[in-house]
Amino acid sequence: MYSSKLLSLIISFSLSFIILLSLGSWQLERLIWKQSLLKQISEQTSLPAIDLSYSIIGNIKKYKSRKIKLEGNFLYDSSLTIFSRVYKGEVGRHVIVPIETKYGWILINKGFIPEKNYTDYLKKGYSTFIEIEGIIHLPDYKSYFTPENNVNKGEWYYLNIEEIKKYVDLPLLDFVIFEAKSDNSDKFPIAGQYRYNNIPNDHLQYALTWFSLAIVLFIIMRIFWNKHLNK
């Protein structure tokens, strides 16, 4: 008969082994999902630009990551900045400006500005009628390590359209457009900050880590068991 201490140890080893295998399998499932997502985004961004319309707004999820053309007037007085962002190794912010179109108000990510003297790059007033091209983005969730927005102080760490609606007091539509970079200049703000290739995809490494730990634990279990049998 096994002693209660030995039995408890065997159960603990077994449960730990099962948990490690489960974590590895879950990471493989996440890997498949992430690869599918990146493929979908790549296919969408390679399609020709579409013109903004009520039909597109009503089916906006279908057009996620699609290039789009629109026209309207920027309300620079309601600009806000998202920080911290990095461009070519430099820390800064993204400038977000509402644009008034005939279809409604939309937030536009106009691009990167450096942190130092960032207010120098923020415009004021109401722009002339302008046409822009960009990529449709649907804000989804805040990552675990991202701080909460401080709406009262106007400090923004991620895009939360409901919070921004109240802050700027505008009936914003529920999506954002990342303005496309129109030339190769480095004039601030630098547009073209939609970076789907930078979406983390480390699930294979995580899966290998969990499976490796499971193998190590199995070897330890086997050595322990053999020693016990030889007693």
pLDDT in tens, 21-54: 999 999 999 888 888 877 877 777 788 999 999 9
Q: How far, in Å, CA of 100 to CA of 156, rounded? A: 22
The pLDDT assigned to 200 comes to 67
Contact 144, 158 (CB under 8 A): no
Q: What is the pLDDT of residues 149-194, one digit of tens each?
A: 999 988 999 999 999 999 999 999 999 999 987 766 678 888 877 7
Domain boundaries, the chain: 4-37+203-229, 66-193
The pLDDT assigned to 56 comes to 95
CATH class for the domain made up of 66-193: mainly beta
Residue 1 has pLDDT above 70, yes or no: no
For 71-86, letters b (16+ CB in 10 Å) and e give: ebebbbebbbbbeebe
The mean pLDDT of 189-207, rounded to a whole number, is 76
The pLDDT assigned to 216 comes to 92
Whole-Å CA distances, 89 to 12, 112, 143, 179: 46, 12, 21, 21
3-state helix, strand, coil in the chain (%, to 5): 40, 25, 30
Q: How far, in Å, CA of 16 to CA of 8, rounded? A: 12
Q: How much is the mean pLDDT over the chain? A: 87
Residue 197 has pLDDT above 60, yes or no: no
Q: How far, in Å, CA of 28 to CA of 213, rounded? A: 15
Closest CA to 48 of 69, 76, 67: 67
Contact 67, 48 (CB under 8 A): yes
Neighbouring residues of 118: CB distance < 8 A, sequence distance ≥ 6: 81, 92, 93
Residue 3 has pLDDT above 80, yes or no: no
Q: How far, in Å, CA of 45 to CA of 37, rounded? A: 12
